[in-house]
Amino acid sequence: MALADDLQLSVIPLKTETQHVLVPATLGILVNKNDPKSLKLAQHYASMRRIPASNIVSLDLPLTNDVSKYVMSRALTVLQQNPNYSNFVGFALAFQKPFRVAGNQSITSAVSDGVSNIIWKGSCNPTLKNPDFSGSVLGKYISPLTRKPAMMLIGGATYDDSYKLLERGLAADNSDPTGQVYLIKTTDAARSSPREFYMELAKRLFERKISITIEKNNNFANKNDVFVFQTGLAKLPSLNTLNFMPGAYADHLTSTGGFLFGANAQTPATELMQAGATASFGTVREPCNFTQKFPNPAFTLNRYLRGDSLLEAYWRGLQWTTEGVLVGEPLARPFPIVKAVWDGNTVTFTANRRTAQYFRSEYNPVFKVTTQNLRVYQVQSGHPVALGILFLPAGARIVAGRVLGTMKLVQTNAVTGGTSDGAVTTTLNPVLGVFAGDSNY
């Protein structure tokens, strides 16, 4: 098949050669059957991302901010009985409400962790530890996901905002941005100080990979090319003066950033989304300022730069997940670790800014290949299928722009799924995974 224009493919770093990979074919889309706009958003998203129609799952949920434990548990039973459930790696929630379970747990946590059985005592409760928390800025020993993380497709106050969000997420793919990371300290010690150590750590470790600015400022405004924005303040002024890039994430450590709809004396995550972020986060109840309950500036950025999707990076940057709601476009993946361009018959692999890092330890200054081959897989089905091996010269230096090799690729994958509207056949764009056995990635 010849393409009118060459297509740049997503290239995912595999943690094992048999892992279940988050790609469009393995993303479930959850619909609130009582909200007609929910199904329309889900269908549009599935079409845009070439997600099989059979991945759309309808749940019976109320059109209120909160859902009871009983109703949520019943909905989760329906979800888990879906024949595609075992193939899902993550979820997009294509509705605005509910966003909270029984006043305490976020709905994204409930989908991923199950309904919480915590006995809540006041506000400052330790919550469920995330088994997928990255736990290291080096990225060593990162295993495939053990949970199925979820993100709400909320782009702001309205469904129209959500459609704009989907466009931003798609535009982020393989964009290899050179934007700005802004880690903003404030005079609000309770909200700012818990993450300041990790802000400094992020700058120390990653400033050679992306531009990172740390400043102390309560009125952050008039910035262009914003790719990451993290701070600690109850109310965020001047959001409309920030120019967010596609794929950007933004959040602030505060109590009720995850109370998405309704009266809120603090800035909700929806306002960050409406300002142009592609993902955000907030807690749905008073969490107290436990660092573990908020996205870690160093660990989240680390996973994103290493090729994880936006959903995976945000999820792996959270140590305690119960109270936090994730919103955004889950499949956005701006940073391929190898540039792969496909003309319909042949893929040409070229090193980019992250390729050398994939082959070496974070603290090893020598940019030499330690493994002399790179195993390449097709992963668009969610399961790696061997495509071939790129053999690299012994001692080769990996520098951006170096052509690593080519491979033949003829795309034949098609997925047929059915909904109440009939059968739909989706041809999946190729997605590649790469694995180097001794990589610390």
Contact yes or no for 108/96 (Cβ under 8 A): no
Whether residue 139 is predicted with pLDDT greater than 80 in this model: the reply is no
Q: What residues make up the domain containing 420?
A: 7-16+335-435
Question: Would residue 62 count as lying in a domain?
Answer: no
Q: Quick check: is 423 in a domain? A: yes
> What pLDDT does 400 receive?
87
- Among 246, 256, 308, smallest CA distance to 278 is for 246
Residue 219 inside a domain? The answer is no
User: Are the C-beta atoms of 174 and 114 separated by less than 8 Å?
Assistant: no
Determine the Cα–Cα distance for residues 271 and 256; give it in Å rounded to an integer: 13
Across 231-259, b (16+ Cβ under 10 Å) vs e yields bbbbebeebeebebbbbbbbbbbbbbbbb
Tell whether 381 is covered by a domain.
yes
Amino acid 358: pLDDT: 73
pLDDT digits (tens, 9 = 90+) for 355-397: 877 765 333 344 444 556 789 999 999 999 999 998 876 666 7
Query: What is the distance between the alpha carbons of residues 388 and 374, in angstroms, rounded to a whole number?
Result: 9
46 within some domain: no
Among the listed residues 24, 30, 26, the one whose alpha carbon sits nearest the alpha carbon of residue 10? 24
Q: What is the mean pLDDT of residues 56-82?
A: 98
Whether the pLDDT of residue 8 is over 90: the answer is: yes
Average pLDDT over residues 227-245: 96
pLDDT-based confidence at residue 413 (cuts at 50, 70, 90):
low
Can you tell me the mean pLDDT for 128-144?
74
306 forms bridges with which residues in the sheet?
A: none
Per-residue confidence at 410, pLDDT binned at 50, 70, 90?
A: confident
What number is the average pLDDT over the span 178-195?
A: 96
Dihedrals φ, ψ of 329, to 5°? Answer: -105, 110
- One-letter amino acid identity for 30? L
* Banded pLDDT at 215 (limits 50, 70, 90): very high
Average pLDDT across the chain, whole number: 89
Distance (Å, whole) CA 108 – CA 148? 10
| Residue 51 domain flag | no
As beta bridge partners, residue 422 has: 419
Take residue 304 and report the two structure tokens written for it: 């994103």
pLDDT, position 3: 54
pLDDT per residue as tens digits for the range 253-310 = 999 999 999 999 999 999 999 999 999 999 999 999 999 999 999 999 999 999 999 9
pLDDT at residue 360, as a whole number: 58
Residue 4's pLDDT band (boundaries 50, 70, 90)?
A: very low
Residue 83: which region, alpha, beta or left (left: phi > 0; alpha: psi -120 to 50)? alpha
Q: To which H or E segment does residue 246 belong?
A: strand 242-252
Let me know: does 98 contact 69? Beta carbons within 8 Å.
no
Per DSSP, 71 falls in state H
- pLDDT of amino acid 368: 47
For residue 398, name the pLDDT band (cuts at 50, 70, 90): confident
In this structure, of 241-250, 351-360, 386-395, 419-428, the range with the lowest mean pLDDT score is 419-428
328, 34 contact by CB (below 8 A): no
Sign (positive/negative) of CA torsion 87, 150, 352, 247? positive
Work out how many domains the chain is built from and give that number: 1
R_g of the chain, CA atoms, integer Å:
21
Q: Are 299 and 133 in contact (CB under 8 A)?
A: yes
In whole angstroms, give the CA distance from residue 388 to residue 436. 13
CA distance 357 to 201: 18
Q: What is the pLDDT of residue 435?
A: 84
* CA–CA dist 429, 431 (Å, integer): 6
Among all chains, which residue has been given the structure tokens 């668009």?
A: 380
Query: What CA–CA distance (Å, rounded) separates 12 from 432?
Result: 6
Q: Which residue has the tokens 């909270």?
A: 100
How many CB atoms are located within 10 Å of the residue 422 CB? 7
Give the pLDDT mean for 104-120. 96
pLDDT score at 23:
97
Q: Report cis status (omega within 30 of 0) of the bond before 297.
A: no
Please report whether residue 116 resides in a domain. no
- The reported pLDDT for the residue numbered 394 is 66
From residue 316, give the alpha-carbon distance in Å to each of 129, 169, 298, 382. 11, 19, 11, 19
